[in-house]
Amino acid sequence: MLIYNYVDSNLGGYSHWKGQVLTADELHVLYEGIKLNNVHHYDYVLTGYSRDTSFLEMVVDIIQELKRANPSLVYVCDPVLGDHGSMYVPENLHPVYKNKVVPVADIITPNQFEAELLTGKNISTEKEAVEVMDLLHAMGPDTVVITSSDLPSRLGDQFLVSLGSQRTVHPDGSRSTQRVRMDVPKVDAVFVGTGDLFAAMLLAWTHHYPNDLKTACEKTFSVMHHVIQRTISYAHELAGPGRRPSPPQLELRMVQSKADIEDPAIVMRATVIS
């Protein structure tokens, strides 16, 4: 089940935009229709961008109801709040994410700014990033992936650092935590939809590797690499020599990347950290 707060003609980057924001009442009506037809039995729910507190609170109500019916349901939340030190959603969404949404999530995919905002703790070292992920675990989610950070990469300034942490409860009741680090090549282009694709791919690959975050991250980041590289090649071909590609030319080449999405060649490796 995929829940988003808007229906629009296109993502950002274009000169014009048409569409509408889905209200909490409209979401409730849609969900009631799904229940009336008895097709509300889900294994996964994924949510992303929202600009409305009542909508988010309705999402929480739906998640809680679905989890009562299926306690093994996995809720994946991309807590879209902002990036690079500033918010691009209303500030009143912050406490709703922190106090209501994140606690019912099983997997979250914040960037560094969002992780800091949710925990109230800054990240300037890998150790602090681990502490922030532990704080996020304590709020509810068993799997946390910080999709991008400002931490220095061991591979140089052309790479950014992503980190992940997965808390596992074993059949005997014991617990363990696997933490990983990824050094990801930077790309000199602006895309839209990469956050949505990342969250969807992480959902898919954690389904296949539920207790192996290292492999799930390698698969997820490799898919992202293949899709972005194919998109860049296509965009530059359309733009022509010496010209910067436009937003329409940088639309992610999803259909053309079907094989890579289904079975990516592993080109991104994760390092297990303590």
Point out the residues that are catalytic.
Answer: 196
Separation between Cα atoms, residue 186 and residue 188, nearest integer Å: 7
Spatial CB neighbours of 234, under 8 Å, sequence gap ≥ 6: 249, 253, 256
Q: How many CB atoms lie within 10 A of CB 179?
A: 22
Spacing of C-alpha 239 from chain mean position:
30
Contact between residue 204 and residue 234 where contact means Cβ atoms under 8 Å apart: no
Count of alpha carbons within 13 Å of 268, Cβ hemisphere only?
Answer: 25
State residue 181 phi and psi, 5-degree precision: -130, 140
Could you please report the per-residue DSSP string of 180-231? EEEEEE--SS--SSHHHHHHHHHHHHHHHSTT-HHHHHHHHHHHHHHHHHHH
**Residue 108 to residues 73, 76, 139, 189, 199, Cα–Cα distance (Å):** 14, 6, 11, 25, 8
Beta bridge partners of 85: none
